[in-house]
Amino acid sequence: MIVVIDFGSQYNQLIARRVRDYKVYCQIEPPDIDIERLKTLNPQGIILSGGPSSIYEKNSPRTTEEIFSLGVPVLGICYGMQFMVHALGGGVAKAEKREYGYAQLKVEQPGELFNEVPGTTPCWMSHGDSITALPDGFSPRAATDNTPYAAVADPKRRFYGLQFHPEVEHTPKGKQILKNFLFDICGCKPNWTMKAFAKEVIAEIRETVGNKSVILGLSGGVDSSVTALLIHKAIGKQLTCIFVDNGLLRLNEGARMKKLFKQHLKMNIRYVNATDQFLNPLAGVIDPEKKRKIIGKVFMDVFEAEAKTITDADFLAQGTLYPDIIESQSAFGGPTSIIKSHHNVGGLPKKMKLKLIEPLKFLFKDEVRKLGLAIGLPEDLVWRQPFPGPGLAIRVIGEITKKRLSVLRKVDAILIEEIRAAGYYKKVWQSFAVLLPIKSVGVMGDKRTYENIIALRAVTSKDAMTADWAKLPHKLLGRISNRIINEVNGVNRVVYDISSKPPSTIEWE
Ligand code: XMP
């Protein structure tokens, strides 16, 4: 494995991704990692990430200098390189000319790190400080117009430093440089595959759980489904999944889940129909945040009541992903706001004295998808678009009634069917319909109608933090609109949302 020490760079997840793309396991650790823990991890190489600080700032992040005595190769990137040079007795100072963005890298003394990298190649810089003097044993390897020490190396001790960012797309040969570090310098083997990972995790779960029981809240999304199947493969019927039908799900969602998990995968599923428990307190509520609060609270109550009936449950399993973990531990505290809390049964483990199992906590979303496929989940489940915990409640704008939910459900089913058929389901981040709280006049069969309006929303995005409206073909939009108005009673107008995030959000509420 490779350990990335996180000095707060916005790119450190990208470094981990790149390493894993080469089938080498990689883990991000905070700078204050205990040296004994680092030794137990037994990394084959250490990457010191970049970061926004200057090494001379009082509170700039540091890691133990003992990492330089482990005999393990170290690659410092940007601030990580400056930290290494400074720690080993070299000099770092404010650069005369700060360098941001594109620069031409001239490789003067290639060495193993620059195998198969041309003599001149573009690189991407972002720094205010620069190296002024190298520690003993180091020599310069590459330069840019403004930076004589754009790459440095002490091949004897296997220490390398890059002032530029090899992990970003704007450094086209960056992947090759990282590859050289992993395989030619650290001697890693590309054997970290999802199949191997699944095998390891399943064995681990079996050992942790022993003969005890595990409960899990199954939502129908990718993360909880993959978590459930992994644990099921490890301990079979010792796992009980609780699927709460809150009455706010998509058409046939409950039946589909039962069919797959209960009948097909033979898992132990408790299906709790709690429609009225959710819809009663939601009656007349139109404020979106109030809706979320009510749904979150009822979910906890329903889940807890069901969980209590499962005797000798010792563990609660959750589909927490790696970005959530990194964000909460990052050197500079990440944007925790993207972690949604309503579906988080976070209070439960303490209250019920449950221990947590989070088998996906080292994976990124696309890795979870690969893992899901590797353990046999069907492709259409693995590639589901995100669906918000409060479900259709925040897509029925205004008052939530069974009737309005039923209208939206039919519309949503048509939309998804058409988007899939046109090959856009995987191309967009999310595509859904919103039922508006206003009516408009129409004419159907020579008769005046006064009915509901549906807004269609489809966005492209990488992480839901920003999004753009999807440029769906007009023909497709026309077909969807036609079908909705013809097939769903109570709708006489369809509009398409052409706002991006920011300043709008993806959901309407
Ligand atoms: P917004 O609307 O904030 O949505 O641009 C960003 C992403 O989060 C989803 N979303 C939610 N997910 N509970 C959830 O589990 C919520 O309350 C919630 N609100 C929004 C939304 O679908 C999008 O993917």
From the list 141, 145, 66, 139, the residue with the least C-alpha distance to 103 is 145
CA distances from 173 to 114, 126, 164, 312, 446 (A): 9, 17, 11, 55, 66
Residue 507 CA, ligand 1 centroid: distance in Å: 6
From the list 438, 440, 454, the residue with the least C-alpha distance to 487 is 454
- List residues with catalytic annotation: 78, 165, 167
Distance of CA 451 to the CA centre of its chain: 40
Q: Is residue 294 helix, strand or coil? A: helix
Residue 339 CA, ligand 1 centroid: distance in Å: 9
From the list 299, 338, 333, the residue with the least C-alpha distance to 321 is 338
CA distances from 34 to 55, 66, 300, 303 (A): 21, 10, 37, 38
Output the pLDDT for position 322: 80
From the list 397, 393, 391, 392, the residue with the least C-alpha distance to 508 is 397
Q: Which residue has the tokens 């704007």?
A: 170
Pocket test for ligand 1, best of 287, 340, 469 (most atoms within 8 A of CB): 340
Collect all residues with Cβ–Cβ distance below 8 Å to 438 and sequence separation of at least 6. 453
The 8 Å CB, 24+ separation contacts for 417-422 are 418/476, 418/479, 418/480, 418/483, 419/458, 419/476, 419/480, 422/473, 422/476
- CB–CB of 425/400 below 8 Å? no
Residue 191 CA, ligand 1 centroid: distance in Å: 36
Backbone angles phi, psi at 385, to 5 degrees: -70, 155
Collect all residues with Cβ–Cβ distance below 8 Å to 348 and sequence separation of at least 6. 300, 303, 304, 307, 316, 354
Pocket of ligand 1 (CB under 6 A): 292, 340, 342-343, 386, 388-390, 430, 464, 501, 505-507
- CB–CB of 164/149 below 8 Å? no
Output the pLDDT for position 97: 76
In angstroms, the CA 249 to CA 245 distance is: 7
Collect all residues with Cβ–Cβ distance below 8 Å to 336 and sequence separation of at least 6. 327, 328
From the list 8, 49, 47, 31, the residue with the least C-alpha distance to 332 is 8
Q: Is residue 5 helix, strand or coil? A: strand
Quick: pLDDT tens for 161-177: 999 999 998 899 999 99
Residue 388 CA, ligand 1 centroid: distance in Å: 5
- CB–CB of 35/23 below 8 Å? no
Task: Spell out a b/e string for 185-210, using b for 16 or more CB atoms within 10 Å of the CB, else e.
Answer: bbebeeebebeebbeebbeebeebbe
Would you give the DSSP letter of residue 490?
A: T
Give the closest residue (by CA) to ligand 1 atom 19: 388
Query: Counting beta carbons within 10 angstroms of the beta carbon of residue 463, is it exposed (0 to 12), middle (13 to 18) or buried (19 or more)?
Result: exposed
Output the pLDDT for position 339: 34
Collect all residues with Cβ–Cβ distance below 8 Å to 58 and sequence separation of at least 6. none
Give the closest residue (by CA) to ligand 1 atom 14: 388
Torsion sign across C-alpha atoms 126, 129, 130, 134: negative
pTM (predicted TM-score): 0.81
End-to-end CA distance of the chain: 43
Q: Within 13 A of 269's CA, how many CA atoms are on the CB side?
A: 27
Output the pLDDT for position 12: 82
Indicate the pairing of strand 239-245 with strand 269-273.
parallel
Kindly give the parts of the chain with pLDDT less than 70.
326-347
The amino acid at residue 159 is: F
For each of the domains in the chain, give its residue range(s) and CATH number, in order of start.
2-185 (3.40.50.880), 194-382 (3.40.50.620), 401-496 (3.30.300.10)
Output the pLDDT for position 347: 66
In angstroms, the CA 429 to CA 457 distance is: 11
Output the pLDDT for position 103: 94
Atom of ligand 1 nearest to the CA of 501: 5
Give the closest residue (by CA) to ligand 1 atom 16: 388
